[in-house]
Structure 1
């Protein structure tokens, strides 16, 4: 199959390398807003570069992978859907809830699969945690703790267009909580700190945040995130139930030191280095995610992360950001789009009418 890649930056280069190794991919076509960057990446991997991103839509693609700048996601995905081309898109699909809702509706109407890049769903630990919850191994789930700790802040130029800590970073935790527990959040309360670099305050963002969520079955979830975890990249999901507890993301490279310190000569110094970032920590998950997309394009599996899930995660992130700004509990229903509310009301009325008949 012929796969197009829109965006030759850091994550684009990582995905391009994986796609070139995929047995089903006969040709990879790379395009970027910077043609030189696309040419350099394509030459390094033995792929083909195009002069402009627009050229991808006349290249007879079987599938499109979108790793361009966030602001370009929505237009690229909508063009692919209109052209009947299956799409994989790094989150977010769009920069706001209404845009995400429109893409969801267009993809659903056209019957074109759009897979969203929430790679934690493909991590072995997170997948095992989901299976354990579904099988009832933990009994009644009562507490979930999730964290996303980056070792250092992103470049200052990234912050203004990122959407903020909750929409850019914590949204991964929120999607994971939904995916692993199989439950929906009812309300959230969140707070943040902007005592670090001036670039966060200048953009109205925070460098550290925390949120408490209540799920529809009474489970309580806490999420913590920061841009300043110098010990290393630390992403974990901990689940506690009436029968058992487990954790995903805890291994020898997790940058957390037990105390008191191990005695000299105990071998503690032989620990491997901590994870340096998301590409390191989730390398296998990224490969599995793209493998799932290739299977989706080939018609051999269903969509493992459709726009509907991206929209629900966006609602939670938006509620967290609103709670942080207004310092109050926010019901998730408050942030749902008017169109979504109207569509849900119509569906509910149709269901009631069906029962009456």
Structure 2
């Protein structure tokens, strides 16, 4: 299989390195809006470089991986589908709901598969939680607690174009809550705070947030988000039921320090970021895409899933701004 990859930033370069290691992949061709960056990545990884996107699409590809900037996602997804190329695209599909719906409308009549990058679905812990919920071993769920706590903020220049904390960061939690529980979110109540750098305020964003979600079966879910978790990168999910409970993301590298004097500290070191925490999940996700591209299975995370997570993020943003609970139905279009 000959794969193209558009966007050779940090995650794109990592994906290209993973993809070239699969036996099924005979070659990888990379491109970027900055040809020099694509050439440097190709030289480092021992893959091919295309001079631009037109050259990439003309390179005889079997499928395309999109890791470019968000504003390029809609055009690349639609172009790939129009060319008959199965496409994997890192989230989000587009920068907003309108753009996401435009992509959905454009590709709705096509049978070409599209997979969106929600790597947590491929993490062994989240998969175990999903199985435990589905087989009833936890009983009925009463509470889900999810956290995405970054150790430090992104660059200031990134924040105004990120979509905000809920769309950029929380969307992974919103997707995985839907996926683990098999339920839909009915309403959201969100609050935010700024105690860090002023560039979050300047971008009309928040650096920390707390969210309460109500699912369609009455389960309550809380989501904690921050750009300033000094202990390290901390992504967890607790699924608490009437019979039992379990925790995803609690391992030797979890950045948790107990105040109990008899509790032995976790050996660490803490994960420095998402690439290290989810490296096996990213590999499994791309392996799944090869199956999708080869026609062996359907997409495990489609554009509809991305839209649902985006709706929840929109409800959270509206709730934060207006200081009230918001039904997800209010933001549907």
Whether TM exceeds 0.5 here: the answer is: yes
For the 8 Å contact 1:65–1:87, the answer to whether it is kept is yes
- Closer, same or farther: CA 262–275 of 1 in aligned 2, 3 Å: farther
* Whole-angstrom distance in 1 between the partners of 2:155 and 2:16: 23
Alignment of 1:250-265 (within 5 A): 250-262=250-262
Where 2:280 maps in the other structure, the secondary structure is helix
Structure of higher CA gyration radius: 1
1:175 and 2:195 correspond? no
Where 2:55 maps in the other structure, the secondary structure is helix
Number of the residue aligned with 2:332? 336
Alignment of 1:60-75 (within 5 A): 60-75=60-75
* Whole-angstrom distance in 2 between the partners of 1:252 and 1:108: 44
* Whole-angstrom distance in 1 between the partners of 2:107 and 2:119: 21
Where 2:158 maps in the other structure, the secondary structure is helix
Number of the residue aligned with 1:12? 12
Number of the residue aligned with 1:234? 234
Number of the residue aligned with 2:245? 245
Deviations 1:44-80 (A, max 9, x none): 1110001112222212211100000111111111111
Where 1:8 maps in the other structure, the secondary structure is coil
In the superposition, the TM-score normalised over structure 1's length comes to 0.91
* Whole-angstrom distance in 2 between the partners of 1:138 and 1:52: 51
1:224 and 2:224 correspond? yes
- Closer, same or farther: CA 261–70 of 1 in aligned 2, 3 Å: farther
Number of the residue aligned with 1:279? 275
For the 8 Å contact 2:32–2:53, the answer to whether it is kept is yes
For the 8 Å contact 1:107–1:113, the answer to whether it is kept is no
Number of the residue aligned with 2:298? 302
* Whole-angstrom distance in 2 between the partners of 1:114 and 1:103: 11
Deviations 1:303-353 (A, max 9, x none): 10011111100000110011011111100001011xxxxxxxxxxxxxxxx
* Whole-angstrom distance in 2 between the partners of 1:203 and 1:283: 31
Displacement of 1:235: 0.1
Displacement of 1:262: 4.7
* Whole-angstrom distance in 1 between the partners of 2:133 and 2:184: 14
* Whole-angstrom distance in 1 between the partners of 2:56 and 2:229: 39
Where 2:195 maps in the other structure, the secondary structure is coil
Q: How many residues align?
A: 333
More helix by share: 1
Number of the residue aligned with 1:325? 321
In the superposition, the TM-score normalised over structure 2's length comes to 0.98
Where 2:109 maps in the other structure, the secondary structure is helix
Number of the residue aligned with 1:348? none
Displacement of 1:260: 2.3
Q: Which runs of 5+ in 2 are unaligned?
A: none
* Whole-angstrom distance in 1 between the partners of 2:280 and 2:108: 30
* Whole-angstrom distance in 1 between the partners of 2:262 and 2:115: 45
For the 8 Å contact 2:254–2:268, the answer to whether it is kept is no
* Whole-angstrom distance in 1 between the partners of 2:322 and 2:23: 51
Alignment of 1:124-139 (within 5 A): 124-139=124-139
For the 8 Å contact 1:236–1:248, the answer to whether it is kept is yes
Deviations 1:194-243 (A, max 9, x none): 22101100000000011000000000000000000011000000011111
Number of the residue aligned with 1:343? none
* Whole-angstrom distance in 2 between the partners of 1:237 and 1:101: 29
